[in-house]
Amino acid sequence: MLYTGKGDSGTTKLFNTPSGERLPKTHPVFEALGTVDELVAQLGLLKVGLRSTDLMIGEVRADIVTHNVQEALFTLQAELAGAGMSIAEERVTELGALVDEIENLLPPIKTFFIAGATELSAQADVCRTISRRMERTVLHAVSAGIKVSPASLAYANRLSSLLYAIARFSSYSAGVDEAPPSYT
């Protein structure tokens, strides 16, 4: 069933809502859930683009890395909805290791870059900006009383760094120089 009609009045419920209580769809948790969902969808576009390349991050294809991020974000959605699960600490460590690995392959970054050096880097930059917004919406939901584990919060924070690294790495691997802003 693709719809129930139960939300037509502007309310819905989470897994752990006491006594079946319904919350307004304007509650910060639903903004967070929607932003995570948006990021998962945008990551799908990035994954499809990466699948057509031979871009490797260490021993793992970049499209597989992206898929694994999507999997972790489904866990974050479940956690936000009160399903009693969270992102494992080792997933946070893995993200940091991937960022470090990519950074070691790139020339030092000394400036900002204008998005769009390549189609893939532009898509990764779109994902990066959504990731930053996602982190803010998750924190807003936490400030409204939604429980999110420290590891899940750390993952949400670290994810934009990985996406930034993928954007830079995809341009670098394609041999395309990124343009810094001229600030004119």
pLDDT tens-digit map of 48-94: 999 999 899 989 999 999 999 999 999 999 999 999 999 999 999 99
pTM: 0.93
Q: Which residues pair with 23 in a beta bridge?
A: 12
Distance CA 117, CA 122 (A): 7
Neighbours of 78 (CB within 10 A): 16
Is 154 contained in some domain?
Answer: yes
| Residue 81 located in a structural domain | yes
Rounded distance between C-alpha atoms, residue 161 and residue 169, angstroms: 12
Q: Residues with Cβ < 8 Å from 11, sequence gap 6 or more? A: 22, 23, 24, 25
Radius of gyration, alpha carbons of the chain: 18
Q: Is residue 179 part of a domain?
A: no
Dihedral (CA of 47, 51, 53, 57) sign: positive
What's the domain count of the chain? 1
Residue 173 amino acid letter: S
Collect all residues with Cβ–Cβ distance below 8 Å to 182 and sequence separation of at least 6.
Answer: none
Q: How confident is the model at residue 22 (pLDDT cuts 50, 70, 90)?
A: confident
pLDDT in tens, 88-125: 999 999 999 999 999 999 999 889 999 999 999 999 99
CB–CB of 13/23 below 8 Å? Answer: yes
1 in a structural domain: no
- Give the rounded percent of residues in the chain with a pLDDT score beyond 70: 97
Which pLDDT score is estimated for 95?
A: 96
The answer to whether residue 5 scores a pLDDT higher than 80 is no
103 domain residue, yes or no: yes
In a domain, 18, yes or no: no
What distance in Å separates the CA atoms of residue 11 and residue 1, rounded to the nearest whole number? 18
What pLDDT sits at residue 9? 74
The answer to whether position 181 is within a domain reads no
Residues of the domain holding 103: 24-173
The answer to the question of residue 123 being in a domain is yes
Q: Closest by alpha carbon to 115, among 72, 61, 171?
A: 171
Lowest mean per-residue pLDDT among 9-23, 142-156, 157-171? 9-23
Domain CATH number, residue 128: 1.20.1200.10
